[in-house]
Chain A
Amino acid sequence: MLTFTIRRLVLAVPTLLFISLVIFLLLELAPGDPMAQVPLTVPPDVKEKMREALGLGEPMHIRFWKWLVQFFWIEPQVLVDHMFGTSFSQGDLRVISWQTRSPVMDIVIQRIPQTLWVVGTAYIVGILIALPIGIYSAYRQYSWFDQAGTFVSMVGFSVPPFFSGVLVIVIFSVNLGWFPSIYDTTHVVNDWDSFVVQLKQMIMPVMVLALQITAQISRFMRASMLDNLNQDYVRTARAKGLSEQTVVLVHVLRNSMIPVVTVIALAVPAVFGGAIITEQVFKVNGIGQLLIGAIQANDLPMVQTLAFIFAVLIVLFNLIADVLYGILDPRIRYE
């Protein structure tokens, strides 16, 4: 198992390097000049100095190397310094945002909790709804519950979050006035009333995200249960005289969960990506909105870093899914 994990880890390194190269080259080869906004009255030699100050004067491979060093060597040091009060990163150049002139990672760290709160809650809620639906629709295949579940998940696949989000805003904030349509991130929870306010403002974004997660995972759960329900070991378990509850919820469920758990792990990055739109709809100032803002402001270092963080998430959760699958199902553990 350890060699399996290590092999997957080693394979992840070239993948990450390739992705960082793709992101870097995409931004590099793209036409467009970050100095285009500088007034024409600025003399050329001053312009050249500004260009160097932004780190644009050097050849491409050197800048790629510098970016890698900044991202993989200096930023972790900053994190260590921050946690243990050491000073490894004293005087090192960090990735600076062109928008705010402050280190990119500091802004990202400020924004991540909002995204994590909304996305994390939505993911847990979505899974908690999806699993029972999937189990019951497989157990009663082609019943009205199953048909309804199929329809709801089809709707979940088809209704994009920018429509379902706007729709719940129209219904629940404009017409009924139950929930606020804008997520207030400065809100501090310190007593019961403020907790209720926080709950109210989280319900709508969480529901919109959870609908999509539920649609996906309940389908997987159903398919996986159906695969297992006709297996010989189920008949054996019933023949032994085990109760129906034990057969379905212990024997079948445990085996059906194996692929579902990996799907749950694999879908995490996609949810973060999808949260970009949901954050935009509900004005949650998480990393998704940070990315949109940076793109509109032409803030290349910020865009680069954020795109790369999304890539790291994908590679990381692929790795987790692989290793989980290996732990849960010894048959696929090829060493």
Chain B
Amino acid sequence: MKSYKLKFRAFGNSAILIEWPQRIVKEILEDIRIFSDKIEGKNIKEIQELNFVYASLLIIYNSDLISFSELKQKLQLLYDEDNSALQRHHALWEIPVCYDKEFGIDLDFLSEEKKLSIDEIISLHSGNIYTVYGIGFLPGFLYLGGLKKALHIPRRSTPRLEVPRGAIAIGGDQTGIYPQHTPGGWHILGKTPVSLFNPRSEKPCFATPGDKIKFRPVSRAEFELIQIAENTEVYELKKELYD
């Protein structure tokens, strides 16, 4: 696998920001994911937390134990080590979505704006596999890349004050799922009955950056069934392996 020229930057006095070439591409994300796995596998005692999104990896460390330069050197050596044993499959998560107009409150607007039928919008949105480029903005909010060009659309000029939890939306060249009630400026296509973030679980968000997501259209009746299963904690998200 290709290796990249990394930029190590001091971010305050107890964090290192490592930057890959600043591009949104799967190869870079995968390289960061492998490097992050490698660091975690080493259990480096000076390192407290890792967080990566798109083309950057943040490393928070204990500056009483190690200096920026020492840690940088250690990390560069680790990056240069052979990766071939570390390639692995990705999880592909299937998120059920009800695209009924009751939830997809912007479907009519989008249909008019994009000159597409509502069925075409649904099949463009659900017929694609998305990459999780990171988690941020809100607890459990996934930055998803891969929205089809035909669905790119500027954000609303005024954000809605209340977007319901579970809303599936598009804005710019991105799509996303709102994990909580929140203000938001994207256009809403539907709603998922599953919860994206569970603070009672040790891993509150099911996904890891680098994973894949697909949306499966479900009827209103199935939406209700999944919601009941979800509320009684018996619903399990469908996951497959994906190369």
* A and B interact: no
